[in-house]
Amino acid sequence: MKSSGVIMKTVQPVVFAHEVRKRFGENEVLRGVNLNVHASEVVVILGSSGSGKSTFLRCLNQLEEIDGGWIEIDGDPAGYEVVGGVVRPLGDRRKVLQRRALGMVFQQFNLFQHLTALENVTEAPISVRGTPKAEARDKALALLETVGLADRARLYPYQLSGGQQQRVAIARALAMEPKVMLFDEPTSALDPELVGEVLSVMKTVAKAGTTMIVVTHEMGFAQEVSDRVEFMDNGVIVQSGPFNELVSNPASAKVAAFVRQAIH
């Protein structure tokens, strides 16, 4: 975390991405992305629309299959296994189990509309992890308290504001005890007056030492919370470093223009 002043790095990164490539037809969206993220780091990915940010997160979470390169999550190859020196793809069931290591919060809230806030948070731990219902309920209530929604536990999504729904989505992702939290423009679907409440929860999650990769245009969050910023352009990372360095010493005219427009 930035506020601590010191990042305790493990020997190997929790997220290791090497020359990751992804294309959709003739459109090569990712052209060789390299990124290492260590435990408790908060990394913010910036860039213009269409630069590949969201696609990269989806590749990390195996929602998209990469066309080249290599991804490891806490030392495990994402989507593959190595047996006797031979690399082979995992089946769908193994991929689902692997995906539990990553919690993802999307632009849209994607809550189950027929379940209460509490039930949304307990659903995956009970059905996927086999957590006893009472234990899952106690943990879910604690997480809803963390995101400031303990008094909304029994309400349905339609009874909640957009900001409240997104906070439930964060609690739901945290309930699976992921090694890394991925946030894909988590405030972009919110009315301006609701953005602050979601960013505040994300700051709380970061201060707890959670490893986070955040795609956002919220420059204040990037400055205050991130350990470093990665700037993507045309499917590659073109600048990496502290936020203030990005602002004071942009690596290209494209970076400078983005920063200037985003800040002003």
pLDDT confidence of 229, banded at 50, 70, 90?
very high
Cα 89 to Cα 35, 65, 71, 81, 101: the distances in Å are: 22, 11, 13, 6, 18
Q: Is-above-0.85 flag for pTM?
A: yes
List pLDDT tens digits, range 134-150: 999 999 999 999 999 99
CATH of domain 2-101+178-263: 3.40.50.300
Tokens of 108: 């849209």
Where do the structural domains in the chain lie, given as residue ranges? 2-101+178-263, 112-177
pLDDT confidence of 3, banded at 50, 70, 90?
very low
List pLDDT tens digits, range 232-250: 999 999 999 999 999 999 9
List pLDDT tens digits, range 84-123: 888 888 888 888 888 889 999 999 999 999 999 999 999 9
Q: What crossing angle do the helices spanning 133-146 and 162-174 adopt, rounded to 10°?
A: 130
**Residue 124: predicted pLDDT:** 94
Contact 153, 117 (CB under 8 A): yes
List pLDDT tens digits, range 55-66: 999 999 999 999
